[in-house]
Amino acid sequence: MPGRLRPARLVVVAGTGTEVGKTWVACELARRLRGRGLKVNARKLAQSFAPEDGPTDAARLAEATGEKAAAVCPPARWYPKAMAPPMAAESLGLASFSLADLLGELRWPPALDVGLVECAGGVGSPQADFADGVDLVERLLPEWVVLVAGAGLGTLNDVRLAARALSGHPLLVYLNHYDGDEELHVRNRRWLAERDGLFVAVTPAGLAEAVQGR
């Protein structure tokens, strides 16, 4: 974001798909980084949701960072429809928007240690008209991309495909719901680390340490 206020460390939280736990991971990461004395803010450029599902992602991120939900995601970008944000906007009869529109609305406070940006859906999910999660990462150029994935069957395929799409960007993989007593989880972690050379975290504390270390 040339010419714009930028956190000392920018982290994009992406996922291999929807419902993999991105918001939970982002919240836990924020809490642990704040516990280390860092000033942390979170942003979700647009959010879509089913109104009956309880607190929105922006509300949960706001609680974890001590902000207001309207600072995490501009209210004009709240779309009460469980679809990708640009699709939800279209379904609701609202104006379409571009990635440039979303980035133009992105604001950070001064002297911020870590800024977290949570993607909507998976790496290939639309974030705006004609722009997906990969496009967002390429525009933001973060210090880290945290890729949240499941720990069980199918995660090797999901992580490896997402990692290829994000090639060239510094990547941290987080295996959500990891169980060290589950053989498949252990083998998945080992395969990704040893065969694919990926950094794989399985606890929020380990993830926070990796994010702070760069």
CB 128 within 8 A of CB 99: yes
Block residue for tokens 């509300």: 59
68 has catalytic annotation: no
CB 77 within 8 A of CB 85: yes
Alpha helices in 53-154 (DSSP H): 57-65, 69-72, 85-91, 99-104, 133-140
Q: How far apart are CA 54 and CA 59, in angstroms?
A: 10
Judged by DSSP in three states, 27 sits in: helix
Quick one: which of 3, 7, 2 has its CA closest to 144? 7
Quick one: which of 77, 75, 94, 87 has its CA closest to 129? 87
Residue 15 CA, distance from chain mean position: 7
CB 69 within 8 A of CB 56: yes
Residue in 22, 44, 68, 81 annotated catalytic: 44
CB 214 within 8 A of CB 170: yes
R_g over Cα of the chain? 16
Catalogue the active-site residues.
44
